[in-house]
Structure 1
C-alpha cells in the first residue's frame, strides 16, 4: 500500500471565497438538499421554542450590528464564547464571522485559570458567557485585563450590569446596517481564520488550532457528498441523512465534533437541531422520544449508558435511523449491543481531529454495520498514509502512524511555529495515532503514539498534569498515563514517587499513605476541570526513563494494566458525563 484515497470522488466545487455564514445562510450549494416545506432550524430543548431560517438570519444580523456599534468588533478580533450549548450560540458564532472576527469556544467546565489561558492566548476582545458561568468568566476577564463591559451574557440576569445577547439583538435590529460585511477574494477563504479551537498537544498546555472558513465548508461538503444527502432516488432504507430529519445537539458546540458535524453539517443537509444545554441521560432519552430524533451523534460514554442504563427500557427510541459515535473508539461489543437496542438504526463511527477540522473517515453508507470496531471509511478528498517505525509505508492490515491529507485540514497552531512544524507537514497532518486499514478502506485505531489521554472525547495532556503535580510538596517525581475505562475511554492515573519528606511520614506511620494519596488527587481536583481529575495515584520507587530522560509511559501503562488485572489497582470513576 502506498496511499489510500477516499472513494466517492471527485468532490463538488468547494467555494473558497465565502465565509461560513454566507455559505450556510446566504447561498445554495449543489450538494445541499432543498427542503420541500418550511421547518425550524433550531428547537430549544426545555421550552420547545422553534427558530426558523429567517429568524436566524435576522438574529445574526442584529447581533453583528450591535457588536459593531458597541465594541467596533471587526477584522481578526477574537470573540470567546464560554458556556454550554444555547439556542443563540450559533447566532453568536455567525454574527462574529460576518464582521470578519474569529471565534474561540471555551469549555464551560474550565476554571478561571484555564479560561484565562485561553483569553490571553487568543487576545480575546469580547467574552460571551452563560449566566451559570458568569463568576468564572468575570474572574478570568479580570485577570486577563478584559474590561467588565466586554463580558456579555447569553440571557439577562436581574440586577447584573452586563449586556446580554437578547437585548443586543433587539438593539441591532432597530438600526440600519452599521457594518460592511466581509467579502473574500477568490482563494482567501483558505487563509481567513474562522475559529481558534483548542486542542492539546503531546506536551505543554492546549494549543489553538487555526481553522479557516474554507476548512469548515470543505468538510461539510465532503460529508454531504459522501452521505448523498440530496439523492432522493436511493432506496429509502439507504437514506440515513434525509432532509427533514432531526438531530439532538447535546454534544458541546465549543468542541470540534459538536461545532462542525452537529451544528454545521446537520443544518446544511436540512436537519432540525434540538439544542440541549446540559446532558442528563434520562432527559436525553426523553428528548429522543418527544422530538422523534432521527440522527444521533454520541460519544462512547453515551453508548455505554444506552446499552446498560435501566431507564432505557422506559423510552421509545424507534425514531432513530442513524447513530454515529466519534471522539474515541467504540468497541465491537458496544456496537453489537447498540445494534440490538436500535434495530431500525444504522450504527457507525467516524475518526477525526481538531487539526483536520473534524472527520477524515465517516460511517459506511451501504450497510447497516461496518466491520466491528472500525472507525469508518475515508471520506472523498482524503488521502491516508500509514507509516511504519522504519519510515516505510504499511500495507493493508499492517499498523503504523496515520498521516492524512484533506481539503479540510487546519493551518497550524496559533503563534506556535514549532508545534505546527511537528504536526503539519506540507499539506499532511501527522496524527500520532497507530492505525491500520482493511481492504474496504475501513480504519481501525490501535493506540495513540502521541501521549494524549482521551477522557470522554476530551484531550488531556499528561505533561500538563505532571507539571501541576510537581508543585505539590509530597510529589518528588511523577508520570501520568491513561488507563482503559469502558465508560470514559481512558482515565488519568498518576504514578508518583513521593518526596523524601512524604516518604519519611509514611515510613513512620504507614496509615498516612492514604492521606497523602488523597491530598495529591485533591490538588488536581481543586485546580483542573473535571475530566482532568485523577482516577488514582499509585506510589512507585522510580519513574522509568530512557537515557535522554524521556518518560517511558508505555512501561507504566503496561504496569497499570497488570495491576488492574490482578485486582491491585482500584480507580475512582464517576458514571456521569
Structure 2
C-alpha cells in the first residue's frame, strides 16, 4: 500500500497541557520533557552580551511578576488586549512577553526594522494598547504611536533614552522602573487561569506573516501551540543517543541565536536549560567576539551568517573551538555551504530546520544521529508532525516524489485574523498548506525543492511580491510591474522588479538614454522610503515592454524569474548584485 502520510519518528509525545498559559508553562510548572527541574537549574536563563550579567530563574520570575503588576495597575491591560513589542533582542523581551500573558493579554511582536507606516499598520490591525520600544526603534515607534493615537504614556522603553533627549520632552517609563513599581505594590492582578482545553483556543500571539497577496497577515497562535512545539523539540532532544560529540542539544550549554527566535530560541532553548546569550543587534565581528568570550556551544543561524563564517577573513582571528552545533533555519542552506562550514568548524555538528509562523514554528529539526546532516535536507520531521505531499492534481505523493507540503501538528496556528479567504486557503481541516514544494524520503528527511507560493525569502524574511507591486504601481513612471526573487548566495533571494514604464517615462528615456538610470533610481527610492530594508529592490529594476500574463490576467511570475536567472548568468542585469563579505 503506498505511503500517504509521513509521520515524524520518535513518538508518542508526552502529555501537552491545554489548561496553562505559556508563561505558566515556562515559569510555574515542570514537565516530563524538561531535562532538569527549573528550580534546581544553576545555570542562568540569559546572559547579557555586553556586560556578561547572568539572569537566573528567580530574577526572570520576579521581573515578570513585577512588570505584570505595573501594567495592570497603571493601564489595566486585561483579557485579550494586544501589547506590541517593537525592538531588537533584549534581556527584558521575554519578561514583557510573559508579563503580558500573566494578564491574559496578547503579544504582537513587530520587526525592529519596520518603517513607521509598517508599524502603524500592525498597531491599527491589532488595536495594541501598549507599545514597548528600545532606543534604536524609538523614533519610528513614536511616529507610529502618534499616527494611531496611542498616548505617549503608553510607550514604554526597554532602556533609558540615549542621545535622544532633544527629540522628546516626554518622560517615558522604562521596563526596569515598572518592574520596581510593580514589586513595591501588593499584587493587584489575578493571574489568568485557563479552563481545561482553553489553551487550544486562547490567543497568545498575533504574529505577522507575509501572504501571497497584499499586506502581512496577523497569524493567531494559541498558548497551546508553542507549548506543544517546545515539547516536540524537547522530546526529540531527549531521544539523542550516541557519542557526546554529536549531541546537539545540551542542558547547561551556552547558546546564541538570531532569527526564528520566539519559539525555538526564547522558549525551547531556555526550557531545555540552555543559557541564552542575548545580543541586541547582529554584527559579524561582534558575533565572533561573543562566541569566543562566552564560550558559546550552539549557534542558531541563518544562511547569510553561514556565508560569513565560510568567507570572512576575520574568522581565523577568533577562537571558535567551543562551537559544537550549528543549526541553520529560515531559508534553505545549500549542500555546498554545509560542506564549507563543516571544514571551517570541523568539530561542529551542522544541520538545518524548517518551520513557519503558521506552524508555530518547527516542522523539522537536524537529524540527531548525524554529525553533518544529510546535505540539502531541511532536517527530519519532528515527533508529532504528520505531513502530506500533494501532487498537482491533489492526490497524495509517496516517498521521493515532489509535491506541495501540508502539515498537521499540535503546534499549528489557528487562523489569520479577520481574513476568512486567506484562512480558507492556508488552514484546511486541521492542515496547514505551506506553499513549499518538497520531497520526503524513507528516513522522513525533508528536502525543499521550490516555493509554490510566490513569497520571496530575503535573509530568512518573507517578502510578498504583491505588496511591493501595489506600492510600485503608485509611481507615476510605472505602467505595470512584476516582482520576482533573484537568487543570491548571501541573501538567498533579492527582490527584482520588472517594470513596464509609463508612456511619458518611455518617451523621456527614448530622448535621453541617461533617463533610464534616473527612473530606476526613483522607483528604487520610492520603495526604500516606505518599506523595511529587506523589501527594497536590491535585485534592481529591469524594463520590459510588457509583463507576461496568462489569458485570465495572472502574472506569469515564473517566466520572469527564469529570465532574471538567465540575465544574471549572462551579466546583463542593470544592477548586478554586490558581493558581500
Structure 1 position 294 matched with structure 2 position 302: no
Question: Which residue number corresponds to residue 427 of structure 1?
Answer: 430
Shift in Å, 1:574: 5.9
Residue 197 of structure 2 corresponds to residue 179 of structure 1: no
Alpha-carbon offset, residue 237 of structure 1: 2.9
Q: Does 1:30 align with 2:32?
A: yes
What secondary structure sits across from 1:494 in the alignment? strand
How far apart are the structure 2 equivalents of 1:274 and 1:576? 26
Structure 1: how far apart are the matches of 2:10 and 2:66?
A: 40
Contact 1:250 1:277 survives alignment (8 Å): no
Tell me the CA shift for residue 573 of structure 1.
Answer: 4.4
Kept in 2: contact 1:156–1:166 (CA 8 A): no
User: C-alpha offsets along residues 79-116 of structure 1, whole Å, 9 cap, x if unaligned?
Assistant: 00001111101100000000000000001111110000
CA drift of 1:506 comes to 0.6
Q: Which residue of structure 1 lines up, in the alignment, with residue 549 of structure 2? A: 545
Aligned residue number for residue 244 of structure 1: 252
Aligned length: 570
Q: Which residue of 1 aligns with 2:343?
A: 340
- 1:496-575 paired onto structure 2 within 5 Å: 496-535=499-538, 536-571=540-575, 573=577
CA contact (8 A) 2:82 2:127 kept: yes
The offset of 1:250, in angstroms, is 3.4
Aligned 8 A contact 2:242 2:369 in 1:
no
1:82 aligns to 2:83 (yes or no) = no
* Counterpart mapping for 1:396-415 below 5 A: 396-415=399-418
The 5 A counterparts of 1:203-282 are: 203-228=213-238, 235-251=243-259, 257-282=260-285
Unaligned runs of 5+ in 1: 252-256
Where 1:463 maps in the other structure, the secondary structure is helix
2:112 to 105, 108, 111: 108
Give 2:330's aligned residue. Answer: 327
Distance apart, 1:236 and its partner CA: 2.3
Alignment partners' CA distance in 1, 2:574 and 2:252: 47
The 2-side partners of 1:74 and 1:102 are apart by 9
Q: State the Cα distance separating 1:37 from its structure 2 match.
A: 5.2
Residue by residue over 1:46-91, the C-alpha shift from the partner in whole angstroms, topping out at 9 and shown as x without a partner, is 1111111001100000000000000000100100000111110110
2:397 to 394, 398, 401: 394
Secondary structure of the equivalent of 1:131?
Answer: coil
Which residue does 2:210 correspond to in 1?
200
Contact 1:153 1:164 in 2 (8 A): yes
Counterparts of 1:371-520 in structure 2, within 5 Å, are: 371-520=374-523
Residues 313, 238 of structure 1: alpha-carbon distance in 2 compared, 3 angstrom cutoff: closer
SS of residue paired to 2:393:
coil
Distance (whole Å) between structure 2 residues aligned to residue 367 and residue 13 of structure 1: 28
Preserved CA contact (<8 Å) 2:541 2:574: no
Q: Deviations over 1:4-29 (max 9, x none)?
A: 01100000000111111111111110
Q: How far apart are the structure 1 equivalents of 2:266 and 2:193?
A: 23
The Cα shift of 1:500 comes to 0.3
Is the 1:389–1:400 Cα contact (8 Å) retained in structure 2? yes
Bigger shift: residues 160-169 or 83-92:
160-169
Name the CA distance, whole Å, in 2 between partners of 1:38 and 1:361: 30
The structural deviation recorded for 1:576 is 7.0
In the alignment, which residue of structure 2 is the partner of 1:21? Answer: 23
* Partner in structure 2 of residue 254 of structure 1: none
CA 1:197/1:520 → structure 2, altered by over 3 Å: closer, same or farther? same
Contact 2:258 2:302 in 1 (8 A): no
Q: Which moved more, 1:499-508 or 1:234-243?
A: 234-243
Q: C-alpha displacement at 1:370, in angstroms?
A: 2.1
Alignment correspondent of 2:172: 162
C-alpha distance in 2 between matches for 1:379 and 1:171: 43
- Structure 1 residues 558-567 or 494-503, which shifts more? 558-567
Q: Post-superposition shift, 1:135?
A: 1.3
Which shifted more, 183-192 or 565-574? 565-574
Question: Once the 2 structures are TM-superposed, how far is the Cα of residue 570 of structure 1 from its aligned partner?
Answer: 4.8
Q: Is residue 355 from structure 1 mapped to residue 363 from structure 2 by the alignment?
A: no
**SS of match in other structure, 2:136:** helix
Matched with 2:49 is: 45
Decide whether the 8 Å contact of 1:479 with 1:553 is kept in 2: yes
1:406-444 alpha-carbon deviations (Å, 9 max, x no partner) = 000000101111111110001100011011112211111
> For 2:364 and 2:53, how far apart are their aligned partners in 1?
34
Q: Is the 8 A contact 1:193 1:210 kept in 2?
A: yes
Q: Tell me if the contact between 1:250 and 1:275 (Cα under 8 Å) persists in the aligned partners.
A: no
Residue aligning to 2:121: 117
d(CA) in 2 for partners of 1:373 and 1:184? 42
Distance in 2 between residues matched to 1:296 and 1:4, nearest whole Å: 29
More divergent stretch after superposition (146-155 vs 400-409): 146-155
Contact 2:402 2:438 in 1 (8 A): yes
* Distance verdict in 2 for CA 1:575–1:456, change over 3 Å: farther
1-side partners of 2:463 and 2:550: how far apart? 23
Matched residue SS, 2:85: strand
TM-score (ref. length: structure 1): 0.97
Does the Cα contact within 8 Å between 1:521 and 1:534 map onto a contact in 2? Answer: yes
Residue 191 (1) aligns with residue 194 (2): no
CA distance in 1, matches of 2:245, 2:23: 32
Distance 1:121 1:574, change over 3 A: farther
Shift of 1:239: 2.7
Backbone CA RMSD of aligned residues: 1.4
Shift of 1:546: 0.7
